[in-house]
């Protein structure tokens, strides 16, 4: 089967800067790819490029073996869900209505929501610990509640590929672990995730693969056990990073 997402020779630029040069990346079902790098190294631009929101400077990008340039936005939304770095309440009046927006790609033209749509939204609200807030006015949410609502919207979309830009923004540790666990569960059932993260410890805990962006064109990609270590992270962040062990888990600490 074709990878859910495949990039060949992908080049991402910002002005005169080449942030990513000739990236080859294949994201298969069952993969959770953590994208790590310092500020300004192109993590968000990469996600936007993978989502088809900006054209790469060079290279080929495919979703399920089909060139993304030949797909309409509705078809892309059936294959791919994007969580932006920042969340806004928009025009939706309640939390449940915000999450229901994730179902638009599945609706027929002028169609009404089905029991399947409502079930998907209900499951997403539970996964994000929002069931008790379903009727809450969206503009009254805290930053963390709004972020959880945006993540629930992505879960409700039920796309096989999910691109998450700093998903733990504004989240307390409990909800950060709960939501990343919910996405990891989707991965275990055959979906895939590409997520930008600032915490390599979370990457080591939830991701199967890591993609390190140095911001000067260089990248490093592979299984977390091979890519995430003290030496590679020290080089990536430009500050000493130590690796500690907590039972079977690896913890990375900037020192």
pLDDT over 80 at 208, yes or no: yes
Close Cβ partners of 243 (under 8 Å, ≥ 6 residues apart): 229, 230, 250, 251, 252, 253
Confidence of residue 87 (pLDDT cuts 50, 70, 90): confident
Confidence of residue 111 (pLDDT cuts 50, 70, 90): confident
Rounded percentage of the chain residues whose pLDDT exceeds 90: 88
The answer to whether 58 touches 21, Cβ cutoff 8 Å, is no
- Give the pLDDT of residue 194: 98
Q: Is 97 exposed, middle or buried (0-12, 13-18, 19+ CB in 10 A)?
A: middle
Place of tokens 């509640």: 145
What's the Rg (C-alpha) of the chain?
A: 18
* pLDDT tens digits, 212-243: 999 999 999 999 999 999 999 999 999 999 99
Place of tokens 């994007």: 82
Question: Which among 140, 146, 142 has a CA at the least distance from the CA of 128?
Answer: 146
Quickly list DSSP for 31-89: -EEEEE--TTSSHHHHHHHHTTSS--SEEEEEETTEEGGGS-HHHHHHHEEEE-SS---
CA atoms within 13 A on the CB side of 179: 30
pLDDT over 70 at 91, yes or no: no
Confidence of residue 246 (pLDDT cuts 50, 70, 90): confident
If one compares 111 and 138, the residue with the highest pLDDT of the two is: 138
Confidence of residue 92 (pLDDT cuts 50, 70, 90): low
């Amino acid at each position: 089967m074709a990878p859910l997402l495949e990039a060949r020779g992908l080049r991402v630029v910002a002005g005169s800067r080449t942030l990513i040069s000739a990236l080859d990346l294949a994201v298969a079902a069952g993969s959770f790819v953590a994208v790590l790098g310092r500020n300004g190294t192109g993590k968000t631009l990469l996600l936007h490029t993978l989502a088809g929101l900006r054209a790469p400077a060079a290279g080929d990008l495919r979703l399920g073996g089909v060139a993304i340039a030949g797909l309409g936005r509705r078809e892309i939304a059936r294959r791919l869900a994007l969580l932006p770095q920042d969340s806004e309440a928009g025009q939706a009046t309640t939390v449940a209505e915000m999450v229901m927006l994730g179902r638009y790609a599945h609706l027929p033209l002028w169609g009404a929501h089905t029991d399947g749509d409502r079930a998907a939204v209900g499951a997403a609200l539970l996964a994000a610990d929002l069931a008790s807030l379903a009727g809450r006015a969206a503009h009254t949410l805290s930053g963390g509640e709004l972020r959880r609502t945006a993540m629930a919207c992505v879960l409700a979309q039920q796309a096989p590929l999910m691109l998450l830009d700093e998903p733990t923004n504004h989240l307390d540790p409990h909800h950060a672990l709960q939501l990343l666990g919910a996405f990891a569960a989707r991965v275990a059932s055959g979906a895939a995730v590409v997520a930008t993260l600032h915490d390599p410890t979370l990457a080591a805990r939830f991701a199967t693969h890591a993609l390190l962006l140095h911001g000067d064109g260089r990248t490093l990609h592979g299984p977390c056990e091979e890519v995430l270590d003290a030496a590679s992270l020290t080089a990536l962040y430009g500050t000493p990073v130590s690796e500690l062990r907590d039972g079977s888990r690896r913890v990375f600490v900037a020192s």
